[in-house]
Chains A and B, each alone.
Chain A
Amino acid sequence: MGLLRPPTDRIQAGYRCLQEEWDRTREVWRDPVADKFERQHYQQWEEKIPEMLRVMAALDEELERVSARVWHE
């Protein structure tokens, strides 16, 4: 398991819960105010968190690979 995997997994799990809660909210909150909230506040989570998770996963993988090469050479 990669060094950064635990915090990455925790962010992933928290984000999934937030997405589920947002979906539940959208079921009962369907009006222009909800649309505006989605555009102004929620969308940035959708844009930024997956990218953060991708960066962390890529860094984790490369860090493990580099560490193995440095230590085992």
Chain B
Amino acid sequence: MAAELRQVEQLLVLERRMGSFGSALQEHMSEADRLLQRRLRELEHYIDETLSRARHMTSESEREQAARLRERAQRQASELRRLEPLIARFRMALREAEELSNRATPRACRSLRETHDLVLEYLAVQNDVAGPSLSDVAGTGIVSGIVAGKSAEVKVGESTDVKIGSVGGHVGVVAADLEIESRVYAEAQARAGHQLIVNEDEFTVGVDLEGGAEAGISAKGTVRTATAAGSFLELSLEKELVDVGSDATLGGRFSRNKREAITELGLRLGGFGLGLTGEMRVKVADADLGTALKVASPLLYALGVGELLKRRKS
């Protein structure tokens, strides 16, 4: 019994650690991206200034100096271009971080939670014979208990959670961040994997399909589906985004930038061994959209065929 309790507690701790690292990863990568963009803008501005100075040197006596400045600007621009391959690899890393944070982490946490619940269920059955139990995970502020097949968990730390559930049915109510943000949400998860999550400003309804596949819709107009093999399709009305892919290595992105009235089509390919990946993005004016979509359609077809092949293999 003590070993199982220790395992249950450790699964909770790992779930929290994984969840917090998953969110932090995307945050830190975005920060790195912002810093990189700022530095690149500064360098481009510096080169533009050099060229501008050369353009203002129009007199005969300044001709030589202007030529030297233009040559210097060319060398500086050439230096800047040397960064492009590394920046492309960084962009891929950014996408992979996004994938890890938004998809892989929730999936892993859910799996940990399911295992945790199953062990609790086992303990609850044992407990009906052995009597109530209460455990405290030292240093984590998590207290969980089981009484006659019902579980309760109180976590006090970075946020305050109260969870009450019936371990047999995996049905629970969660109230989170009661003290810090007064953000209260409720979560119900049936044993079959159906979910209803209600937050302050949106709700999400989701279902775990057989073998790890999932589908969900949120009140903000985002529809997301994913297969167990890792292929996904995300449609977002709010962001005007269609993202389709297979893991993080093969996929396409179709998105509109409202501010600049342009459409961006992205294509990424990878998984050729040695972790090689490549990414191509094309910006098109609205007038060229029809042509661009024709270009994108073979990719969608290829993804569909790829998925079918994966299913046949498995």
Contacts and interface: CB of A to CB of B under 8 A. Distances in A.
Interface residues of A, number: 41
Given A4-B35, A25-B11, A62-B82, A10 B21 contact: no
Nearest to A44: B104
Contact of B14 (A4, A25, A71): A25
A73 B75 contact: yes
B226 interface: no
Contact of B83 (A37, A52, A55, A63): A63
Majority SS at the chain B contact face: helix
B96 interface: yes
B43 interface: yes
Contacts of B47: 70
Contacts of B92: 55
A25 B29 CA distance: 27
A22 B14 contact: yes
Contacts of B82: 62, 66
Nearest to B28: A7
A71 B42 CA distance: 10
Given A21-B13, A28-B10, A33-B115, A51 B83 contact: no
B6 interface: yes
Nearest to A47: B275
B43 to A, nearest CB: 5
Interface in A4-40: 4, 6-8, 10-11, 14-15, 17-18, 21-22, 24-25, 28-29, 33, 37, 40
Given A11-B24, A55-B90, 20 more contacts: A7-B29, A10-B24, A14-B25, A18-B17, A18-B18, A18-B21, A24-B10, A24-B13, A25-B13, A37-B108, A40-B212, A41-B111, A47-B275, A56-B93, A59-B86, A59-B87, A66-B43, A66-B80, A71-B46, A73-B75
Interface of B: 3, 6-7, 10-11, 13-14, 17-18, 20-21, 24-25, 28-29, 31-32, 35-36, 39, 43, 46-47, 72, 75-76, 79-80, 82-83, 86-87, 89-90, 92-93, 96-97, 100, 104, 107-108, 111-112, 115, 212, 275
Which 6 residue pairs spanning A and B have beta carbons closest together? A41-B108, A7-B28, A7-B32, A52-B93, A21-B17, A59-B86
22 contacts: A3-B36, A4-B35, A4-B36, A7-B29, A7-B31, A10-B24, A11-B29, A14-B20, A15-B21, A24-B14, A29-B7, A33-B115, A37-B108, A37-B112, A41-B111, A44-B104, A55-B92, A55-B93, A56-B93, A59-B36, A66-B80, A70-B80
